[in-house]
Amino acid sequence: MAAVEAQRFAAPPKAPEAGEGDQEDNEGDAKAAAAAARETRATWGTQAQLFLACLGLSMGLANFWRIPTLLYDNGGIAFLVPYVLFSLTVAKPVLFMELFLGQFSSQGSVGIWRCVPIGKGIGLCMCIVSVLMSVYFMCFMAHAMMFAWNSLTTELPWAVCSDRWGADAGCYIPRPGVVSTPVLHS
């Protein structure tokens, strides 16, 4: 008897053949499967989590690094007004459209464009741009980490003129009471 029970639990149940069973059973199974899929589907815990995730997607490293430079080069507030208007009227709606399409289709950024055949390559391009931007920003992150690591030394490397980082005779160290004195440390 134990062997029969072990065999029963070892073999997975067989799916019913097409045409077997009652139509109501098939509909009930489909509804149960849909309900199970809804229960296991991930959702945002609160509206605040969704808002902060969207804010994090739209405010990246470029906003803190490039925007001050763009403001300085392009006229300050005169540049900021069209930038914010474009962001609110074009960029944010496209971001929300992508989020909603992904939510309702349960597809990734490549799969959501199957519903619009003309946009077939958009998802792939989005993935490629994401990879390229990640590589681009990794350079800046590595530079920042290098500065953070080097700042843990007793003598800050950028506080002295050193051959180690390529200082030449034109390098000077500002000192109180001294106008400029080129000093090279080896």
Residue 56 annotated as binding? yes
**Six-digit token pair at 146?**
């290098």
Give the list of residues 6+ apart from residue 184 with CB closer than 8 angstroms, or none. Answer: 161, 162, 163, 167, 169, 171
CA distance 38 to 33: 9
Q: How many CA atoms lie within 13 A of 138 on its CB side?
A: 6
CB 183 within 8 A of CB 172: yes
One-letter amino acid at 39 equals E
63 is in an annotated binding site: yes
Closest by CA to 174, choosing from 185, 186, 182, is 182
Cβ-based neighbour number of residue 25 at 10 Å: 11
Partner residues linked to 175 by β-bridges = 178
Of the candidates 86, 110, 85, which has an alpha carbon nearest to the alpha carbon of residue 98? Answer: 110
Q: Residues annotated in the binding site for Na(+), as ranges?
A: 56, 63
Residues of each annotated binding site: 56, 63
